[in-house]
Amino acid sequence: MLTIDPFLFTDDAIALETRAFNDALVEKIAAGGDMWQKTPAQIRAARTDGNGPFPVEPVEPTAWQIDIPGPNSSPGGDIALRCFKPSSGEATGTYLHIHGGGWTVGTSHAHDSRLQEIANNCALNVVSIEYRLAPEHPYPAGPDDCEIAARWLVDGDHDFPTNRLLLGGESAGANLCASLLLRLKSHYEKQPFDAVQFTAGVFDLGLTPSVRNWGDEKLILNTRDMRMFVDHYLQSGEDRRMADISPLYGDLSGLPPALFSIGTCDLLLDDTLLMATRWHAANGNAQLDVTPGGCHVFQGFPDLAIARVSNAKIDAFLNTH
């Protein structure tokens, strides 16, 4: 049964460290000014230089890149895959990762430490997709690239183990994970992924109540940010309730076990609560992990205690599937 403890949503449930961290983060982001005064390309560059909300992770020296054929419209015709392997021992499966960033500003390179950690803790090869970004490449470029990469992993000629396939992503990456699983239903008689892990996913691009009601205060994201990201991503008047865009409205039957991780101070809270409920109603295999006081993708701050706890739960979930 999918259950939620009401205590998680009370102020008393939030640790003092988490409160202090959130207060400091709000001040830091406000001091940085309006990011939308920059172009998306400039925002990406600033984040690479350490001028974004998340810490810059060190480059993993053992990671490598594979380029696979992409659609003709992609730059150079290739899709880059950033790859990791366990530091010791053999991989027993492969984890396909889709990064976040509002379909606009993310990169697989920003997750090196965490992806290497997953490789080590879960005995997995990890493959992270460098999909095309909006606004230069709006929908459906991103999901098309993710589908191509996933089908290459499932069917392709490579050395990655495919007997155990896991999927995961954060924020917009979680959206693309859900969209990908719905797309794969039409190509495979049996779902090729054994489990999926969603961190702070956005599942309704029409904007759920928690997004609409959040307002201007910026704790990683605010309401305006979400509207801007969606407008960059959708540029041709697409129906925002189409399942490929907003997986919350899709047929979720026949999908693999899922872990949904979210913080109570994340404006995407309703996206997770609604999607986890629909997923569990359709399949009976959803797990929900709600962290008191967690901001949007708080798992990306490794010095934060709640981040370490949440990431350990994610690793445990991956290890059981």
- pLDDT of 81 strictly over 90: yes
Residue 98 pLDDT > 90: yes
* Other CB atoms within 10 A of residue 157 CB: 5
Q: How far is Cα 66 from Cα 125, in angstroms, rounded to an integer?
A: 13
H or E stretch including 80? strand 78-84
Q: What is the mean pLDDT of the segment spanning 17-32?
A: 96
| Domain housing 291 | 6-319
Q: Is residue 102 part of a domain?
A: yes
Residue 251 lies inside a defined structural domain of this protein:
yes
For residue 293, name the pLDDT band (cuts at 50, 70, 90).
very high
Give domain status of residue 179, yes or no.
yes
Q: Cα–Cα distance between 28 and 228 in angstroms, integer?
A: 21
Query: How confident is residue 2, by pLDDT bands cut at 50, 70 and 90?
Result: confident
Burial class (CB in 10 A: 0-12, 13-18, 19+), 278: middle
Contact 178, 143 (CB under 8 A): no
- Report yes or no on 28 lying in a domain: yes
Residue 33 lies in a domain: yes
What is the rounded CA–CA span in Å between residue 24 and residue 119?
32
Residue whose token pair is 């370490």: 308
**pLDDT for the residue 75:** 54
* Residue 76, pLDDT score: 54
Q: How many domains does the chain have?
A: 1
Question: What's the gap between Cα 152 and its chain centre?
Answer: 20
Tokens of 155: 């069917």
Q: What is the mean pLDDT of the chain?
A: 95
Predicted confidence at residue 179, as pLDDT, reads 98
Q: What is the mean pLDDT of residues 23-42?
A: 95
Report DSSP state, residue 236: S
The pLDDT tens digits for 174-219 are: 999 999 999 999 999 999 999 999 999 999 999 999 999 999 999 9
Planar angle of CA 120, 263, 17, nearest 5 degrees: 85
What confidence tier does 231 reach under pLDDT thresholds 50, 70, 90? very high
Asked if residues 224 and 126 have their Cβ atoms less than 8 Å apart, the reply is no
**Residue 1 falls within a domain, yes or no?**
no
pTM: 0.97
Instruction: Give residue 74's pLDDT.
Output: 52
CATH number at residue 287: 3.40.50.1820
